[in-house]
Homo-oligomer: A and B are copies of this chain.
Amino acid sequence: MKNVIVGQSGGPTAVINSSLLGVFKTAKDRGADTVYGMVHGIKGLLDGDVVDLSTRIKTDLDMDLLKRTPSSFLGSCRYKLPDIEGNEKTYDKIFAMLKKLEIYAFFYIGGNDSMDTIKKLSDYGEKIKSSIRFIGVPKTIDNDLAITDHTPGYGSAAKYIAATTKEIIRDGLVYDYPVVSVIEVMGRNAGWLTAATALAKGEDCEGVDEIYLPERVFDIDKFVERMGKLLKQNRSIVIAVSEGVKVADGRYVCELSDHVDYVDAFGHKQLAGTARFLAGKVAEKYGVKTRAIELSSLQRCASHIMARIDMTEAFNAGGAAVKAAFEGLTGQVITLKRVSDDPYMCITEPADVHYIANVEKKVPLEWITDDGANVKPELVHYIYPLIQAEIAPLWINGLPRHIRLHATSTIKGKK
């Protein structure tokens, strides 16, 4: 009996279901009996909420839809496993559940927290001499995972951001008087997503005028001064800024406003508002029309404009995870290794999960211009291949078609 189980965790991406499909299809091809899916990740497993994926992904059309459906098909959770020491009961419960399902290999698709889950489960498995293999499949739009060249999910988010930025630039430059548009992009600590706005620039597009990443300290006065210089050119201006930019004393720029929109259920002040704050500063100082545009979470699920290269790599990462497990590895994460830039070639490679969990990869400072107001060509060069190629949605009734898990179900009788 060779059953496997797979879960999805953390925030959604456009291609997280391609990784799921990569696990499902490869496991089936390599002779797995049942491929279980955890509904809402490890939390679902703890609650006994798992499905036999063959009952949900039946046809080629289902697979084609799954690849094009954003956000986790199986549902997600934000659940970090406790430290092993003192919490052995939780781990025993998980392993008892896996034993009951006769699980041979366990796959988890997610970001930092999910890799921490793989690390802890494989550590505990080793401790109790379990033969179950634990492999992580990286996923995050933020591109902030260590070791791997980049992360599945990032390319599609970057493509959405670059394409949308081009459209905002065309929109912003239409009038014969200056308008300052400030685009705010997600990323509290890492500027990878914001940097993708740089790709808008080309033969057919003026590009954004300035780009501010959270890796560099943000200086409000210098920003306002620079806007003044740009406005002397008497034209419209488009600026990109990360939601996570901070001033010298460590406060987020959006915290400088005397107004907090509201504090959420977890006690977090709402961060969004950096673009509004900066647009307000410029409007007050120079009396020009300004617009604040928050891309918010839109790039996270914009599968209608995903990068096919990203989709393929996400699928391959899922497949490579199965291969690694079936070849006897455990406690590994599948990384992407760029072996060539031109032509772009990228392979998968398993790496010890201990090196990736809980580490945050930021944009290298040497890829940011000295004035901190733009990115260098090296960064554009890095992102460029990741947004390439397209896959058209399956259009039904004028809209991209998706697939849903529908009602969750509990453990089915095994074959």
Contact = CB atoms under 8 A, between A and B. Distances in A.
B168 A301 contact: yes
A304 B388 contact: no
A283 interface: yes
A309 to B, nearest CB: 8
Nearest to A406: B204
A155 to B, nearest CB: 9
Contact of A171 (B71, B166, B304): B71
A339 interface: no
Which of A168, A200, A403 gathers most chain B CB within 10 Å? A168
A48 interface: no
Nearest to A170: B71
A262 B291 contact: no
Interface stretch (A28-36, A367-375, A390-398): A390-398
A290 interface: yes
Interface in A271-318: 272, 276-277, 279-280, 283-284, 287-294, 296-298, 300-305, 307
A264 B276 CA distance: 12
A171 B14 CA distance: 10
A76 B175 contact: yes
A72 to B, nearest CB: 5
Q: Which residue of A44, A72, A163 has the most chain B CB atoms within 10 A of its CB atom?
A: A163
Interface in A195-229: 199-200, 202, 204-205
Interface residues on A, range: 35 or more
A276 B287 CA distance: 25
B71 A174 contact: yes
A378 B167 CA distance: 32
A243 to B, nearest CB: 13
A164 B70 CA distance: 11
Nearest to A303: B167
B296 A76 contact: no
Contacts of A146: none
Interface in A154-202: 159, 162-164, 166-168, 170-171, 173-176, 199-200, 202
A389 interface: yes
A259 B262 contact: no
A377 interface: no
A404 B170 CA distance: 9
B398 A388 contact: yes
A76 B174 contact: yes
A145 B280 CA distance: 32
Contact of A168 (B164, B176, B298): B298
Interchain residue pairs A-B with the least CB separation, the first 5: A262-B280, A71-B170, A259-B259, A167-B301, A40-B176
Given A261-B292, A304-B305, 17 more contacts: A44-B176, A70-B171, A71-B173, A77-B175, A78-B175, A166-B399, A171-B300, A204-B402, A205-B404, A266-B289, A270-B280, A270-B292, A293-B298, A384-B397, A387-B398, A388-B397, A390-B398
